[in-house]
Amino acid sequence: GQQLNQSPQSMFIQEGEDVSMNCTSSSIFNTWLWYKQDPGEGPVLLIALYKAGELTSNGRLTAQFGITRKDSFLNISASIPSDVGIYFCAGLRHSGNTPLVFGKGTRLSVIA
Amino acid sequence: EAGVAQSPRYKIIEKRQSVAFWCNPISGHATLYWYQQILGQGPKLLIQFQNNGVVDDSQLPKDRFSAERLKGVDSTLKIQPAKLEDSAVYLCASSHSGNQPQHFGDGTRLSIL
């Protein structure tokens, strides 16, 4: 099946630093989504991207839909301790009933 | 708006026993999904409903897993009999339609002894 390659797998950063993670695919997607999952909870939608080249912000988070429609990145500026968690990218194709495809996640740890 | 509700939050059973999970989607969301999330991985789709009809159940192990959404709102997922490898978090999600972003519940953490 389709797979999304998400990197890095994990990262340790100092509080206040900026963070960047990305997701690539061999297939084209029509929608890219970024979720955050805290321990014991379900994934929470952070940003949704619908158009190639689109750059969208949500507070300190910024995400972009790659021009080729095969990649996306998420940036977090000025990280804080509550940014700790696992970040998942997910891609959706609008043709047929193809399911949402998730990456394996980036585990973010913030050192105060 | 209220989010996706799931129960129970935790369940511990022995292998070969049966278990059922319940999900109430966000009001007005026609599409409902059940996912299995194994530790260290992203969610994997088990089944997708559009109203009370099944859209995709290609990854549902049908010999032991079943799901229904009889009235097009709430849904139940059942495992019978459970195996050790079924230990995972079972997430329910819903969306307005199949092409819209999905919103997740907090999941049911299942442990098989």
**Chain B CB within 8 Å of residue A48 CB:** yes
- The list of chain B residues with pLDDT below 50 reads none
**pLDDT per residue over A63-78, tens digit each?**
999 999 999 999 999 9
Whether residue B25 lies within 8 A of chain A, CB to CB, comes out as no
CB pairs under 8 A between A and B: 50
pLDDT in tens, A2-49: 679 999 999 999 999 999 999 999 999 999 999 999 998 999 999 999
Distance (Å) from the alpha carbon of A3 to chain B's nearest alpha carbon: 11
Chain A touched by B96 (CB under 8 Å)? no
What pLDDT score was predicted for residue A2?
A: 60
d(CA A72, CA A48) in angstroms, rounded, equals 11
Read off the pLDDT of each residue in A83-96 and give the average, rounded to a whole number.
Answer: 88
CA distance B101 to A29: 13
Burial label, B53 (beta-carbon count in 10 A; 0-12, 13-18, 19+): exposed
